[in-house]
Amino acid sequence: MKNVKALFIDCDGVLYDKDKLSYHDMAVVAFGKTLETFGVSREEVDKKHINLRKKGVRGLLNVALDVCKTRHVSFRDFATTMAQNTNYSRIPTDKDMLNLLEKVGKKIPVYIVTNNTWIHLFHIIKCLNGGIPKQFIDLNVLPITIEDTLYDGVFHPKKVDGQFLSLCAQTGKMPCDVLVLDDAEDVCVAAKAQGLQVQQVQNPDQTKTVLRSIIHAGTKTKRAVSVRQARGGSGR
């Protein structure tokens, strides 16, 4: 890492292991139950998916957004119901992670950047804190969730071209001064292509190692590890 002045850190798979709460748990189980609550059939969702892809719009939550427009309900209501249908009980308490985030936040600006919703991120922080709500301001971090990427009528996930540059502009940071911690290779590739420093992590332990290195870093810090090196192989 070199001259890191801000941190963009992912949530799912980075703050906790994805085997505790998988994409299937959220995108299939919780999303499916929520569709039933709002009286939306799978056939209707499939049609929306196809129509959105024709327009170049991707992402499950963009389908949810389209459902909300059709049903004349707020996306926040949909997101809240989806969180209620999500089983967060398997995510263990990890106050060490929160303490490290807080310490980094006292040194440089920290943004938890997730393609999921605000209410989902709130539940994750609550689980990590042992079931007690924890204010983001107390952690010295700011959340940037999918709701914050809404423009042109759709959500723009992190891996969308130029989205990281937009986030840097919004936070007043130069891309070369921002370190991205994410577990998704396509997100890391997108961030690196836009000039940000990148370190791909596979689990919370790797995340904590990076956070500690930031906390203990002096004026001179280690060179950023490439996505290929972080994966421990030859890359794609």
Give residue 205's pLDDT: 98
What three-state secondary structure class fits 197?
A: strand
In this structure, are residues 183 and 201 in contact, taking their beta carbons and an 8 Å threshold? yes
pLDDT of residue 44 exceeding 50: yes
Distance CA(74)–CA(67), nearest Å, equals: 10
Shortest CA distance to 197 belongs to which of 159, 217, 224, 157?
Answer: 224
Contacts of 134 (CB under 8 A, 6+ apart): 98, 125, 126, 128
Answer positive or negative: Cα dihedral of 183, 18, 62, 167.
negative
pLDDT of residue 174 exceeding 50: yes
Average pLDDT over residues 203-222: 83
Give residue 10's pLDDT: 98
Domain ranges of the chain: 6-18+92-230, 23-84
Degrees, nearest 5: CA angle 184-14-169: 70
Instruction: Identify the weakest region by mean pLDDT among 8-12, 34-38, 188-192.
Output: 34-38
Tens digit of each residue's pLDDT (9 = 90 or more) over 85-125 = 999 999 999 999 999 999 999 999 999 999 999 999 999 99
Q: How many CA atoms lie within 13 A of 150 on its CB side?
A: 14
The residue ranking higher by pLDDT, 217 or 12, is: 12
Tens digit of each residue's pLDDT (9 = 90 or more) over 178-202 = 999 999 999 999 999 999 999 999 9
Give residue 56's pLDDT: 87
Give residue 231's pLDDT: 32
The residue ranking higher by pLDDT, 80 or 231, is: 80
Distance CA(151)–CA(149), nearest Å, equals: 6
Answer positive or negative: Cα dihedral of 56, 62, 64, 68.
negative
Confidence of residue 67 (pLDDT cuts 50, 70, 90): very high
CATH H-level, domain 6-18+92-230: superfamily: HAD superfamily/HAD-like (3.40.50.1000)
Give residue 229's pLDDT: 39
Shortest CA distance to 114 belongs to which of 62, 160, 58, 182?
Answer: 182
